[in-house]
Amino acid sequence: MRKRIVAGNWKMNKTYEEALTLVSEIDNMVQNEVTGDVTVVIAPPFPYLQSVGKLTQGNDKLHLAAQNVSEHESGAFTGEVSARMLQSVGAEYVIIGHSERRMYHHEDAQTLYKKLKASLAQGLTPIFCCGEPLEERDADRHFEYVGQQLHDSLSYLSNEEFDRVLIAYEPIWAIGTGRTASSQQAQEMHAYIREQLSRLFDAEAAYNTSILYGGSCNPGNAKELFAQKDVDGGLIGGASLKSRDFTDIIKSF
């Protein structure tokens, strides 16, 4: 049975004190307002991981994620953070292949595969991101593009390994472009992703995989998005930086 999940990616935002205030507000709101069966994941910047994790320890709905991970286990890799390090400070999840990492840091399919393997080896749950840019959508190549992303990084995993992976679909063309992806477009791609997963692995694995939507989800559209058959939650960016908005999204199931 796949889980309903809302993950907040804070990206490179908030000072230390602001981060502690935000997570305290989210913790309080989730404990007092969220009654449904939903897993909430918070991904703060690296320096705040341990402190944010400690503040959420008493709330079994809240879980800690890292925004990135090194493909290397250890060694002379200045500025990198390993999966073992993340696990040691309480992280349970890790975002891999976010569109911003692919675009600005040129992370390719093989690098992402290595990050998946490194994370799984330390017991972390990867949130693997995929999604097409504007030119691919306009050229009607969006299905082919996303399918290739899935194949190139996931097909080398065993079924047992893949059972521990979550997928997040990011319609890059609908983020910061002034264009909006409809709930029908989200469902269409999520259904396609699930079909591709059944080809790469099997129907049971595909059915049980949580697929999150990461395209400018907010309190105004979350309920309609989450009502779609193959949308199992959201990977939330800007709205996760406001405790009220983030909690209202969580309550949209």
Report CA dihedral (120, 12, 24, 48) to the nearest 10 degrees. Answer: 60
Instruction: Please choose, from the candidates 196, 192, 189, 241, the residue with its C-alpha nearest in 3D space to the C-alpha of residue 215.
Output: 189
- Give the Cα separation of 227 and 223 in Å (integer): 6
49's tokens: 């991981």
- Give the Cα separation of 167 and 112 in Å (integer): 13
Candidates 71, 107, 132, 170; catalytic one: 170
Candidates 98, 100, 107, 142; catalytic one: 98
Q: Is 98 a catalytic residue?
A: yes
CB 62 within 8 A of CB 26: yes
CB 231 within 8 A of CB 213: yes
- Give the Cα separation of 85 and 75 in Å (integer): 12
Residue 235 φ/ψ region, left for φ over 0, alpha for ψ in the -120 to 50 degree band, beta for the rest? beta
Q: What positions carry a catalytic annotation?
A: 98, 170
